Amino acid sequence: MTNKISVAASAVQVGDHIYNGTGTNAHPTFAWETVTETRNVDGLIMLITGDVKGLHGEFWLEPDEQIMVIRYPVAAPPPAPEPKSHHKRH
**What residues does 88 pair with on adjacent strands?**
none
Q: What pLDDT shows up at residue 84? A: 74
pLDDT score of 79 = 83
pLDDT attached to residue 10: 94
pLDDT per residue over 38-62, tens digit each? 999 999 999 998 876 777 788 899 9
Q: Where are the domains of the chain?
A: 3-71
**Which amino acid appears at position 77 of this protein?**
P
27 vs 32, 50, 86, CA distance in Å? 11, 19, 58
Domain 3-71 listed as CATH 3.40.50.2300: no
- What DSSP character marks residue 86? S
Handedness of CA 34, 5, 3, 26 (dihedral sign): negative
Report which of residues 63 and 21 the model is more confident about. Answer: 63
Residue 78 confidence (pLDDT): 82
